[in-house]
Amino acid sequence: QFGPNDAAIFELPDVEERPELKNTKKVLPNLMRGVIIDFRNLDIYATRYCKAVPHYCILEQTPFQKMERNQEVKIFDFRSNFMQTTNQQCQNGKPCVRLVFAMKDPNKKSAALTVDIWHVDAYKMTFGAAE
């Protein structure tokens, strides 16, 4: 296992028998070391260890940014990215970060794998605890 000993590992499903997932098949071997997601002080951080290059966007409102290898990056800043845009966020989207592993442009249909990371506290503030 790469990363911290107490990290949860999420295994991806087998795609060998699914020809429509050809881009995913190309990316999966390069995900071996993975991406570590960490939650601290209401913020979400990520560190990329894999060869595959993820891009991320914050709150589905910002342009995609490339995640560099072996560098921790704050991908969701609760105070700056959420608290200051709460009213706009309620109208335009949801409090999540999207990681996209794409063959080319993450904005296009070349995405081989997409991971949405939800900030539960921000979600409760936006949509209420009942949902």
User: Per-residue pLDDT for the chain (131 aa), expressed as one digit of tens each?
Assistant: 566 778 787 777 777 778 778 888 888 888 888 899 999 999 999 999 999 999 998 765 778 999 999 999 999 888 876 665 555 544 455 678 889 998 777 877 778 888 888 888 877 877 765 44
What does the alpha-carbon distance between residue 64 and residue 78 come to, in Å, rounded to a whole number?
Answer: 18
pLDDT the model gives residue 66: 93
pTM: 0.79
3-state secondary structure of 18: coil
67: Cβ–Cβ under 8 A, 6 or more apart, which residues?
Answer: 35, 46, 48, 53, 54, 55, 56, 73, 75, 99
Domains plus CATH for the chain?
19-127 (2.60.200.10)
